[in-house]
Amino acid sequence: MPFIPQASSAAGRVDAVFLFILVLSAVFLVFITATLVWFVIRYNRKRHPRGVDIEGNGWLEFAWTAIPTLIFITMFLYGWTNYSYMREVPRDAMVIEVTGRQWAWSFRYPNGKRTSHLLLAADRPVKLELHSLDVIHGFFIAAFRIKQDVVPGKVNYTWFVPTQLGTFDIECTVICGVSHAIMNAKAVVVPVEGFEAWYFGEEDDIPARFLKPASPAPAPAPESALELLNRKSCTECHSVDGSPMVGPTLKGIYGREGAVLDRDGRERAVMIDDDYVRRAIVDPAAEITRGYPPAMPETVMTDEELRRMVDYIRSLR
């Protein structure tokens, strides 16, 4: 499959079953189409003015019942055995908790680290346990050929071994509301050493250097404030140029007075200052801007990141 990477242990198996069925299907389609066209030409009314009423043939009916049945059962078995592999989790798999909500993904590692993108060690099996906080989502990484619905009240799972370094798209596949189409995240596969350095290190969320496309370029420039907002997925719902999106724009709000609803739905006026911006990021559900859905997830952030974010929003006035 040249147009889509095979980046996990499951990918080759899925593609093999697909190609098997594809080849048989192509043979069948060409055969049927060619036969139809040939009959239409050969038995055209000009060439063959009188039709012959052939009512059927028991042997032929038997053959084209039995042979497809056998072929279909072979396809079924091939699909089933490879699927079984995809459902049997090896014991040494690292268990990562995935939480979907309208409309963001978050990931929790066994040692408690929380991230907004999925950082993985190459060639190490992982099991993802899927939780939803609201409606059904679908967890899909095309490059890994894995997908599982994320159902509230139920913990589904999937597992795989990432086999290729790089950054791959995570997409939501079950309609979950207005921002379903931008409920994306990245799966970043790094060498084991890099993963362990992060996992046992000080940084909490995935450092920006992992999210950049791999390139041997000179030392990356320090992350800009806007890049920070991108990395924390803020800009998926909030614009910085005044254009309307799911959430209110960040442009020009600082220093104004705004109307918010508290947890009980009571309306209140607030001054948008340093303190409010900080509160709105740390505990967004406490004060929802009037006229917008209560959709913003709590985002993990260091004090330093929070300070830079507040500075940045202040600068957008």
Q: Considering only residues 20-59, where is the footprint of another protein by CB under 8 A? A: 21-22, 25, 28-29, 32-33, 35-36, 39-40, 43-45, 48-57
Q: Contact 154/129 with Cβ under 8 angstroms?
A: no
Close Cβ partners of 79 (under 8 Å, ≥ 6 residues apart) = 17
Query: Pattern of binders to another protein over 163-202, x per CB under 8 A?
Result: ------x-xxxxxxxxxxxx-x------------------
Q: Contact 252/242 with Cβ under 8 angstroms?
A: yes
166 or 194: whose CB is closer to another protein? 166
CB of 48 to another protein, least distance (A): 5
CB of 174 to another protein, least distance (A): 6
Query: Pattern of binders to another protein over 129-168, x per CB under 8 A?
Result: -----xxx-x-x-xx-xxxxx-xxxx-x------------
Residues in 217-236 at the binding interface with another protein, rule: CB under 8 A: none
# of chain residues touching another protein (CB under 8 A): 84
Query: Pattern of binders to another protein over 248-287, x per CB under 8 A?
Result: ----------------------------------------
CB of 237 to another protein, least distance (A): 11
Query: Pattern of binders to another protein over 61-100, x per CB under 8 A?
Result: x--xx--xx--xx-xx-xxx-xxxxxx-------------
182 or 300: whose CB is closer to another protein? 182
Structure tokens at 164: 């290729």
175 or 282: whose CB is closer to another protein? 175
Give, as one character, the DSSP assignment of residue 57.
Answer: -
CB of 15 to another protein, least distance (A): 9
CB of 113 to another protein, least distance (A): 26
DSSP lists the bridge partners of residue 268 as 260
3-state secondary structure at position 183: coil
Q: Does 214 bind another protein (CB under 8 A)?
A: no
Question: Distance (Å, rounded) from C-alpha 198 to C-alpha 118?
Answer: 12
Q: Does 3 bind another protein (CB under 8 A)?
A: yes
- Using the CB atoms, write b or e for 266-304: b if 16+ within 10 Å: eeeebebeeebbbebbeebeebbbeebeebbbebebeee
54 or 219: whose CB is closer to another protein? 54
Q: How far is CA 85 from CA 81, 121, 186, in A?
A: 7, 21, 25
Question: Distance (Å, rounded) from C-alpha 109 to C-alpha 193?
Answer: 17
SS3 letters across 217-267: CCCCCCCCHHHHHHHCCHHHCCCCCCCCCCCCCCCCCCCCEEEEECCCCCE
